[in-house]
C-alpha cells in the first residue's frame, strides 16, 4: 500500500471555541464526499482503538488551553492533559511503525507542536495565565492528524467533527456584531443563509455516522447523551433555517447563538476528562475516607466532633481543587454543563455544606456525647454521586467496585446486627443473606482486579501496603466462599459468623485508602 501525507506550509487554526477560520486551508472545505458514514480504515483494529484513545486525550488538552485568563487549577489540568496526550501519541506511533508508516511521517510535526505547547505551559509563572499559544499549537495538531488519516484512507469521526466545526465557525462569523435583533442586518442574514446550508450539510454527515461506543468506551448513558446532543443541534439548525425564511430577527439570533454551544457539547463528549485528574481524585479519596469514618459516630464527644470537622475541612480542600462551587477548579461549570456533570457536582457541594452544618449544629448544642451521623449520611451520598458519574463516563476507578461491594453487604449486615449467634437466626434473615451473597461474589473479583491494576502512586502506596491489600482481598474472598458453604450446609452458627466477618474484614481494608 502506498501511504501519503501532505502538510500545508501554514497549518490552519481551526479553533473549536474561538471559531477563527480565516486561515483554514482549502483542502479542509466542507465537501465531505470522500468520507463514508461507515468507517473503512487502513489501520489495524488495535491501532484504530489506540487512535481513539489519542483523540480522547486530545479533547481535554484542547479545552483546558483555550483560556486567556486561566486560574492555577485550569493551567495545571492543561499540563496534565497535554502530558497524557503526548504519552498516548508516542505509544501510538511506536505501535504503528510496521503497519501504518504515516504516523511516523507525521511525528515530527506533531511533536514540534506538542513541545511548543508544553513550553508555553511550563513558562506560566503567574495567574490568571494566557494559555492561548498552547491552544493554537494543539489546533495545528488536529490539522496534521486529519491529513495523516484522510490522505491514507482512514475515516475518523474526529475529522468529521473538524470539518463540521469549520462550517460552524463560518456560521458564527456570519452574524458577527449582531448582538441584538435590531443589529441583525440583511447582509448578516444573507451570509447566515449561505453558511447555514454548508453547516447543515457538514453536520448531517457527522450525524449520519454510527456512534462507535465500543471504540471510544462510551457507556449506554453516554451514547444516549451524544445522540441527544446530535438531535438538539439538528433541531436548532432547522429552527435557524425556519427563522431565516420568516425573517424573524429575534428567532434568528436566538437560534444562531445556540449553534456553537450545542456543537461544543458534542465535541467535548469525545474527551476523557477524568484521567488527567487521577492524582487529584486519589487525593480526594484519601481525605474522604477519614471524614466518612470520623462522622460515623452516634456518641461523639466534643473532641470527636472537632476531629470530624478537621477531617471534613481537609475533604473540602481536596474537593475544591476538583469542583468547587465558589473558587476556580479543574472542573468549572463551563465544563460540567456540556458534559452533563452539573447534577453530580452540585449534589456533592450541597452534601459537603450539609455535613458541615450538622457538625456546627452539634457543637452549638453543646450536649455531649451526641449523634453526628446526620453529618455522615451526606458524605455517604458523595461516593454514590461519584460512582454514578464515573459509570456514565465508563471510567474505571478503584473506589467504585469497593463502594458497590460495601453497599452490597449492608442488607445482610443490617439483618444480623442484633443476632448474637446461630440460635437467633431466622429463615427470613437467612434469605436476606442468601440474596446478598451473589452481589458480593460478583463485585469481589472486580475489587481484586481494580487493586491489582491500581497505580500505587495515586495513593502513595508502598509495595508492602499493596501486598497487605491483596492479602486482605484473599481473606475476604475466602470468607465469601465459607459463607456460601455455610448457607449450603444450613450451618446457622457459621452463617452468622461469616456474615459478620464480611464487614470485619472489609473495614480495615477500606481504611487503607484513607490518607
At 157, the pLDDT band (50, 70, 90 cuts) reads very high
pLDDT at residue 31 tops 90: no
The model's pLDDT over 223-267, given as tens digits with 9 standing for 90+, comes to 999 999 999 999 999 999 999 999 999 999 999 999 999 999 999
pLDDT at residue 21 tops 50: no
Q: How would you class 3 by CB atoms within 10 Å of its CB: exposed for 0-12, middle for 13-18, buried for 19 or more?
A: middle
pTM: 0.89
pLDDT at residue 15 tops 90: no
pLDDT at residue 421 tops 60: yes
- CA proximity to 210, closest of 40, 33, 391: 40
- Between the alpha carbon of residue 172 and those of residues 16, 169, 199, 288, the distances in Å are 12, 5, 11, 44
- Grid cell, residue 287, equals 481525605
Task: Compute the distance between CA of residue 65 and CA of residue 112 in angstroms, rounded to an integer.
Answer: 17
pLDDT at residue 3 tops 60: no
At 32, the pLDDT band (50, 70, 90 cuts) reads very low
Task: Compute the distance between CA of residue 269 and CA of residue 272 in angstroms, rounded to an integer.
Answer: 8
The model's pLDDT over 349-388, given as tens digits with 9 standing for 90+, comes to 999 999 999 999 999 999 999 999 999 999 999 999 999 9
Cell 458564527, located at residue: 172
Task: Compute the distance between CA of residue 172 and CA of residue 176 in angstroms, rounded to an integer.
Answer: 7
Domain 155-270, CATH? 1.20.120
Domain 45-152, CATH? 1.20.120
- Grid cell, residue 411, equals 442488607
The model's pLDDT over 99-111, given as tens digits with 9 standing for 90+, comes to 999 999 999 999 9
pLDDT at residue 487 tops 90: yes
pLDDT value at residue 515: 86
Burial readout 52-84 (b: 16 or more C-beta within 10 A, e: otherwise)? bbbbbbbbbbbbbbbbeebbebbbbbbbbbbbb
DSSP-assigned beta bridge partners for residue 370: 300
Amino acid at each position: 500500500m502506498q501511504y501519503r501525507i501532505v502538510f500545508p506550509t501554514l497549518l490552519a487554526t481551526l479553533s473549536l471555541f474561538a471559531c477563527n477560520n480565516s486561515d483554514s486551508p482549502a483542502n479542509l472545505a466542507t465537501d465531505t464526499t470522500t468520507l463514508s458514514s461507515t468507517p473503512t480504515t487502513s489501520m489495524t483494529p488495535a491501532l484504530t482503538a489506540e487512535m481513539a484513545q489519542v483523540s480522547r486525550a486530545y479533547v481535554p488538552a484542547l479545552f483546558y488551553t483555550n483560556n486567556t485568563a486561566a486560574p492555577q487549577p485550569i493551567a495545571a489540568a492543561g499540563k496534565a492533559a497535554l502530558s497524557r496526550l503526548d504519552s498516548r501519541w508516542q505509544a501510538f506511533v511506536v505501535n504503528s511503525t510496521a503497519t501504518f508508516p504515516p504516523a511516523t511521517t507525521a511525528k515530527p510535526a506533531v511533536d514540534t507542536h506538542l513541545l511548543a505547547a508544553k513550553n508555553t505551559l511550563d513558562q506560566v509563572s503567574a495567574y490568571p495565565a494566557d494559555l492561548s499559544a498552547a491552544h493554537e499549537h494543539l489546533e495545528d495538531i488536529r490539522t496534521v492528524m486529519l491529513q495523516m488519516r484522510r490522505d491514507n484512507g482512514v475515516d475518523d469521526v474526529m475529522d468529521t467533527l473538524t470539518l463540521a466545526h469549520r462550517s460552524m465557525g463560518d456560521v458564527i462569523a456570519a452574524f458577527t456584531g449582531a448582538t441584538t435583533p435590531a443589529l441583525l442586518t440583511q447582509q448578516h442574514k444573507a451570509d447566515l443563509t449561505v453558511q447555514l446550508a454548508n453547516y447543515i450539510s457538514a453536520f448531517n454527515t457527522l450525524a449520519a455516522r454510527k456512534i462507535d461506543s465500543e471504540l471510544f468506551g462510551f457507556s449506554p448513558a453516554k451514547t444516549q447523551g451524544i445522540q441527544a446532543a446530535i438531535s438538539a443541534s439538528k433541531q436548532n439548525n432547522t429552527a435557524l433555517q425556519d427563522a431565516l425564511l420568516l425573517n424573524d430577527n429575534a428567532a434568528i439570533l436566538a437560534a444562531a447563538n445556540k449553534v456553537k454551544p450545542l456543537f461544543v457539547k458534542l465535541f467535548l463528549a469525545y474527551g476523557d476528562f477524568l484521567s488527567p485528574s487521577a492524582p487529584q481524585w486519589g487525593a480526594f479519596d484519601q481525605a474522604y475516607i477519614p471524614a466518612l469514618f470520623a462522622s460515623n459516630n452516634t456518641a461523639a464527644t466534643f473532641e470527636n466532633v472537632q476531629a470530624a470537622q478537621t477531617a471534613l475541612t481537609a475533604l473540602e480542600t481536596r474537593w475544591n481543587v476538583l469542583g468547587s462551587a465558589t473558587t476556580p477548579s479543574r472542573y468549572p461549570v463551563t465544563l460540567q454543563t456540556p458534559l452533563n456533570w452539573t447534577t453530580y457536582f452540585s449534589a456533592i457541594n450541597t452534601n459537603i455544606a450539609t455535613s458541615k452544618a450538622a457538625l456546627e449544629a452539634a457543637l452549638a448544642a453543646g450536649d455531649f456525647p451526641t449523634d453526628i451521623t446526620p453529618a455522615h449520611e451526606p458524605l455517604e451520598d458523595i461516593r454514590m454521586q461519584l460512582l454514578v458519574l464515573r459509570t456514565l463516563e465508563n471510567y474505571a476507578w478503584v473506589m467504585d467496585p469497593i463502594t458497590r461491594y460495601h453497599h452490597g453487604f449492608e442488607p445482610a449486615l443490617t439483618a444480623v446486627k442484633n443476632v448474637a449467634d446461630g440460635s437467633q437466626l431466622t429463615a427470613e434473615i437467612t434469605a436476606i443473606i442468601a440474596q446478598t451473597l451473589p452481589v458480593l461474589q460478583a463485585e469481589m473479583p472486580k475489587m481484586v482486579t481494580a487493586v491489582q491494576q491500581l497505580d500505587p502512586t495515586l495513593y502513595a502506596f508502598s509495595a508492602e501496603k499493596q501486598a497487605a491489600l491483596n492479602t486482605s482481598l484473599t481473606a475476604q474472598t475466602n470468607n465469601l466462599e465459607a459463607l456460601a458453604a455455610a448457607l449450603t450446609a444450613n450451618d446457622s452458627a457459621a452463617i452468622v459468623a461469616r456474615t459478620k466477618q464480611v464487614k470485619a474484614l472489609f473495614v480495615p481494608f477500606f481504611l487503607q485508602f484513607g490518607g
